[in-house]
Amino acid sequence: MYLLFILLFPLLIGSALLIFKPKNAFAISLATSIIELAATAYVLQQASLSPVSFSAPWVAEAGLSFSLYVDGISGVLIGLCALLVPFIVATTANTDRANNSQFQGLVLAMQTALMGAFLAKDAFLFYFFFEASLLPIYFLAAIYGGENKNAITFKFFVYTLFGSLFFLIALVYVYLLTPGEFHSADIDVLYQTAKGLSADQQGYLFAAFFLAFAIKMPVFPFHTWQPDTYTVAPAQGTMLLSGIMLKMGTYGVIRLVLPMFPLGVATWGLTASILSVIGVIYGSIIAIQQKDAKRLLAYSSFAHVGLMSAGILSGSIEGIQGALYQMVSHGINIIGLFFVIEIIERRTKSREIAQLGGITQFSYPLTVTFVILSLGSVALPLTNGFIGEFLLLKSVFDQNLVLGIIAGITIILGAVYTLRLIQKSMFGNVSRITADFADLTFAEKAVLIPLSALVIVGGIFPSTVLGFSEPAVQQLIQWFK
Amino acid sequence: MTAIIALSLLGILNLFLGFWLSRKTIQAATLLFLGGSMALTALDWNHEMLWYGHMFHTTNTSISFSLIIQLAAFMVVSFSKGFGIDEEHTHPAEYYAILLFSVVGAILMVSFDHLIMFFVGLEILSVAMYVLTGSDKRNLRSNEAALKYFLMGSFATGILLFGITLVYGATRSFYLANIALAIANTPPESTPIFLSIGVLLILVGFLFKISAAPFHFWTPDVYEGAPTIFTMFMSTVVKAASFAALFQVLSGPFGTMYGTWVYPIYYVSMLTLLIGNITAAYQQSAKRMLAYSSISHAGYMLLTVSANQASTQSTILYYSLSYTLATIVAFGVVMLVAEYQTGRTEKPENFSSFEGLAKQNPGLAFCFTIALLSLAGIPLTAGFWGKFFVFSDIFNRHVYYPVILAIVMSAVGVYYYFKAIIAIYFKEGDIERIELPGLVKFAMWACTLGTLLLGVYPSIVKNLF
């Protein structure tokens, strides 16, 4: 029942916000997300003892059930989702979006969709939430977005929907092979059924599944929607997209693709890894040349997720554990960084890196937190990014030396664009638009300081997360090895 | 069964009511009649019965389809404000009466056990539709539409009748059960060739009625020309009834001839999906876009028919219901906005006249969005499950290419439905608040909530039988 609560609670309050349009939407939304975080923490505490599950009949005549469960893998993701949403809500403080009930309602609705995708034990339920999450984020981006938002968000919507349709088809294919009069889409049953498929079939199915997830993450060459959408979406929308939503893609690969189609992965995994690594390098190189800070972060996110994808596809324990850890770290770092850019934009009305400079003279806390978050993103030792990237790179090395070496360049390239961003914006001469840069407000500090603290804590105590997920990951690997 | 007698009599009563009662009262009376007939229909639930010398058969399936048809008629009547035409030239009593008669025809079409009964039902429905299409007498487009519909419709009827004749010649019966028996008892090598020709001609007649490509050319013009309220009726009631009848004919007596009719259906459905969706993407007028979208939905439903599985019937039922709920709202909003825009713009039904609708009319915009999302097949709406059931039925036959095409075409569908959504939410416009009569509001929200409910919990309809 707790699972049902953490799934539906945000939606309930979110719909209430959308319908009744109360004046104090910010307080309600923040309270909701904090209660959600507390409830999720309780569920995770239970799940660390033994997996928690909930099941109810749904579309019985089609063998679909409304079943949710939390094990080590989904636990990490729901934890991430519940952890980040309060911060995302808090970033709206003192802006015109704070008490915009429509905006807050959509954010909370989005949280339910994301939670649902991570909690689902029935593959169709996963698909259901996977798709449903597009609606709130589409409206968030298209209503509150920047220039040329209609065309860009529309491309985003159609592109991702198109990919997931292939996923749906492949899923239906496997589902119809499941035993029983009504079939079943329970993930465990699907695992069993997929075992009986030939290598050829698994190859096609892998392609169809991976396409959907590759578009969501995105992996090269399916990334063309991503930089535009991240740039045009409102800061909170971008945080949801990059901090949580792209993890649905990586989670899908871990949860569905690896255990269902090991033969498909054996055939096509290397190709997919190569594409992912191309994305890592390509994203990093383009990030170096960006003039717009938000766009730079979009490409950096593209590069990071490419490494996660390559690590997961290696199918090793380091790869999956590393990816899980990196999903959490990346979520924390990227929303922090997007918030820093948002703060700069609020004060200077610009995101052009060339126009900024010397901000450190006006706001010391901003510089410190920005630097810490960036170092996390660059994967410096003692930051959370290091643990994940190290494990991921190791898994890629083990799989293919050349690929590993190429992927390793990402650390250098990542340092180049991130440090360039810090240097040009924080240090150097004060520019015309940064001339009277106001220091951080309390609300802004309340977001950035805890996030920076998490960067360090994550770097020093990785075992909280890694230990939590390890049994489930071990079990998963046992299954398909 | 009692429902069709009641509806026929009440239709005649309705004609007389026109002498005494005002338009509003007649509308209320018609709603009452439809509500009553729905109750009568529902009473037969679980009482399988044969009537009229075994020509009319009430089963749970036929009852569910009859209910959908009457529900659609109910919603259409709720949306109509004396049929939108100016005060002087309306004849509400006549229109409501014709509407009730056409519902009788549609019910016959979903409950027949005899091909002549089916034919009678089809004609009652069609003739009523010809009249309603041309009911906006002083509008040139409406006249053109009526004439086109009539010519094409009677041509299709002729072909259908010819097919029935050939089948009768080969099997010496009009009864579905006897036809099935005759076909089963004839060894394949001595089956007369004109039996297959008869089946194919019947199929062609149906394809005209459901506007599948390449027999769809009348649809956009007729749907656009007819008063929107009747377009709403045509695209829901006629479609649902025709599909139910088509499946009953094909799966029942001609089920053993699966190989004869399934390939034409594959090709026709693929062509329909391709033409319907791609042409829809180019439309400037929302009404015409919905007309093409209705063609494309015929393509999806044809795919289900071709699957011919045990679950196909409930899939058609589910799809018809979800499509009906969404289409009524979609056409309803187009109608309301076009009425509001009349005189302001040259083409009140174009996407451009929807711009900025959401600002002052959030409820209307929300219902329209849900309807379009459902038509596009996005999760949380009934349309998603409709598509899901269709795909899973056809996949069970191990047929892949049409499904892959259907999926690609759903993505195209998202494109043109979203054109409307973008226009209402994200474009600047100056539409003021549109005041809705209580009944319209009720019908709109009922359909929208129904769409959402079916979207979250499809079992309520899917496991009826």
Query: What is the model's pLDDT at position B164?
Result: 94
Asked if A113 has any chain B CB less than 8 Å from its own CB, the reply is no
SS (H, E, C) A431-451: CCCCCCCCCCCHHHHHHHHHH
Encode burial over B147-181: b for 16+ CB neighbours within 10 A, e otherwise. ebbbebbeebbebbbbbbebbeebbebbbbebbbe
Quote the CA–CA distance of A316 and A477 in Å, as a whole number: 7
CA nearest to A265, candidates A173, A159, A399: A399
Contact call for residues B432 and B360 (beta carbons, < 8 A): yes
Q: Do the Cβ atoms of B290 and B218 come closer than 8 Å? A: no
The residue of chain B with its CA nearest to that of A60 is B459
Contact A176 B463 (CB under 8 A): no
> Per residue of chain B (465 residues), what is the pLDDT tens digit?
788 889 999 989 988 887 887 777 888 888 899 999 999 888 888 888 888 888 888 888 899 999 999 999 999 999 887 555 555 556 778 888 999 999 999 999 999 999 999 999 999 999 999 998 888 788 888 889 999 999 999 999 999 999 999 999 998 889 988 998 888 888 878 888 888 999 999 999 999 989 898 888 899 999 988 888 889 999 999 999 999 999 988 888 888 888 888 889 999 999 999 999 999 999 989 999 999 999 999 999 999 888 877 788 889 999 999 999 999 999 999 988 888 877 676 677 888 888 888 888 888 999 999 999 999 988 889 999 998 888 888 888 888 888 888 888 888 898 899 888 888 888 887 788 888 888 889 999 999 999 999 988 888 887 776
* Ramachandran sector of residue B139 (left: φ over 0; alpha: ψ -120 to 50; beta: rest): beta
Chain B residues lying within 8 Å of A62, measured CB to CB: 389, 392, 462
- CB nearest B415 (choices: A132, A158, A168): A158
- For residue A65, what are the β-bridge partners? A57
Q: Where are chain A's structural domains?
A: 2-480
pLDDT at A379: 87
Q: Token pair of A241, please?
A: 């997209």
| Cβ <8 Å between A176 and B414 | no
Provide the CB-side half-sphere exposure for B301 (13 A, CA): 34
Contact A61 B462 (CB under 8 A): yes
Q: What is the DSSP string of A216-258?
A: HTT-TTS-TTHHHHHHHS-HHHHHIIIIIIHHHHHHHIIIIIH
d(CA B354, CA B374): 19
Distance from CA of B68 to the nearest CA of A (A): 21
Mean per-residue pLDDT of chain B: 88
Adjacent-strand bridge partners of B133: none
Q: Which helix (H) or strand (E) holds B49?
A: strand B49-51
Contact B378 A154 (CB under 8 A): no
DSSP letter at A441?
A: P
Instruction: Tell me the sheet residues that pair with A68.
Output: A54, A120
Is the Cβ pair A172, B391 closer than 8 Å? yes
pLDDT value of residue B83: 52
Distance CA B61, CA B109 (A): 12
Amino acid at B289: M
Distance from the Cα of B391 to chain A's closest Cα (Å) equals 8
3-state DSSP assignment of residue A41: helix
Cβ contacts of B407 on chain A, cutoff 8 Å: 165-166, 168-169
The closest CB to that of A60, out of B389, B418, B463, belongs to: B463
Put simply, the answer to whether A154 touches B422 (Cβ < 8 Å) is yes
- Give the whole-angstrom CA distance, residue B99 versus residue B31: 11
- The pLDDT score that the predictor gives to residue B122 is 93
> Who's near A415: CB < 8 A, 6+ residues apart?
A378
Instruction: Write a three-state SS string for chain B.
Output: CHHHHHHHHHHHHHHHHHHHCCHHHHHHHHHHHHHHHHHHHHHCCCCCEEECCCCEEECHHHHHHHHHHHHHHHHHHHHCCCCCCCHHHCCHHHHHHHHHHHHHHHHHHHCECEHHHHHHHHHHHHHHHHHHHCCCCCCHHHHHHHHHHHHHHHHHHHHHHHHHHHHHHHHCCCEHHHHHHHHHHCCHHHCCHHHHHHHHHHHHHHHHHCCCCCCCCHHHHHHHHCCHHHHHHHHHHHHHHHHHHHHHHHHCCCHHHHHHHHHHHHHHHHHHHHHHHHHHHCCCEHHHHHHHHHHHHHHHHHHHHHHCCCCHHHHHHHHHHHHHHHHHHHHHHHHHHHHHHECCECCCCEHHHHCCHHHHCHHHHHHHHHHHHHHHCCCCCHHHHHHHHHHHHHHHCCCCHHHHHHHHHHHHHHHHHHHHHHHHHHCCCCCCCCCCCHHHHHHHHHHHHHHHHHHHCCHHHHCCC
Contact B259, B91 (CB under 8 A): no
- Which pLDDT score, from 0 to 100, does residue B90 have? 66
Backbone φ and ψ of B385, nearest 5°? -70, -35
- Residue A12 in contact with partner chain B when CB distance is under 8 A: no
Chain A residues close to B380, C-beta within 8 Å? 128, 132, 135
> Which of A430, A418, A321, A292 lies closest to A76 in space, CA to CA?
A321
Distance from CA of A185 to the nearest CA of B (A): 12
Measured distance CA(B264)–CA(B277) in Å, rounded: 20
Quote the tokens at residue B143.
């006249």
Contact across the interface for A139 and B425, Cβ inside 8 Å: yes
Which residues in chain B are closer than 8 Å to A172, comparing Cβ atoms? 388, 391-392, 395
Q: What's the pLDDT at B324?
A: 94
Of A326, A245, A290, A246, give the one whose Cα is nearest residue A418. A290
Q: Which residues, 6+ apart, have CB-to-CB distance to B87 below 8 Å?
A: none
- The span from the CA of A373 to the CA of A381, in Å, is 13
Q: Could you list the mean pLDDT of each consecutive 10-residue stretch along chain A, which spans 481 residues?
A: 88 90 89 93 87 84 85 90 93 86 91 93 90 90 85 88 86 85 83 85 90 89 89 91 91 90 87 91 90 91 91 89 92 92 88 84 88 90 89 90 88 89 86 82 90 91 88 86 74
pLDDT at B378: 87
For residue B122, which of B110, B134, B139 has the smallest C-alpha distance?
A: B110
Q: Is A453 on the interface with B (CB under 8 A)?
A: no
Q: Sign of torsion, CA A286 A289 A291 A296?
A: positive
For residue B373, the distance in angstroms to the closest alpha carbon of chain A comes to 10
Please state, in angstroms and rounded to a whole number, the distance separating the CA atoms of residues B386 and B299: 13
Q: Cβ–Cβ of A135/B373 closer than 8 Å?
A: yes
Count helices and strands (H / E) in chain A: 21, 2
Beta-carbon neighbour count of residue B39 at 10 Å?
Answer: 12
Residues B225 and B141: beta-carbon distance below 8 Å:
yes
Q: What is the pLDDT of residues B131-170, one digit of tens each?
A: 988 887 888 888 899 999 999 999 999 999 999 999 999 9
Residues A458, A459, A460, A466, CA torsion sign:
positive
Contact at CB, B418 and A175, closer than 8 angstroms: no
- Residue B51's DSSP bridge partners are B56
User: Distance (Å) from the C-alpha of residue A395 to the closest C-alpha of chain B?
Assistant: 36
Give yes or no for a contact between A69 and A54, defined as CB atoms under 8 angstroms apart. Answer: yes
Asked if A176 and B395 come within 8 Å (Cβ–Cβ), the reply is yes
pTM of the model: 0.89
CB B368 within 8 A of CB B333: yes
* Torsional class of A66: left (φ above 0), alpha (ψ -120 to 50), beta (otherwise): beta
Cβ burial, residue A356 (10 Å; 0-12/13-18/19+): buried
- Number of residues assigned to chain B: 465
Largest CA distance in chain A: 72
B71 Cβ contact partners less than 8 Å away, ≥ 6 residues apart: B38, B324
Q: Nearest-CA distance from A62 to chain B in Å?
A: 9
Q: Which residues of A touch B411 (CB under 8 A)?
A: 158, 161-162, 165
Q: Which of A155, A169, A177, A232 best tests the B interface by mutation, with the highest count of B CBs <10 A?
A: A169
Task: Give me the residue from A59, A127, A173 closest to B395, CB to CB.
Answer: A173
Length of chain A: 481
CB contact A169 to B (< 8 Å):
yes
Residue with the two structure tokens 């390449």: B214
User: Which neighbouring-strand residues pair with A185?
Assistant: none
Nearest-by-Cβ selection for B378 from A135, A139, A143: A135
Instruction: Count A/B contacts: CB-CB distance under 8 Å.
Output: 80
Alpha-carbon span B235 to B323, nearest angstrom: 9
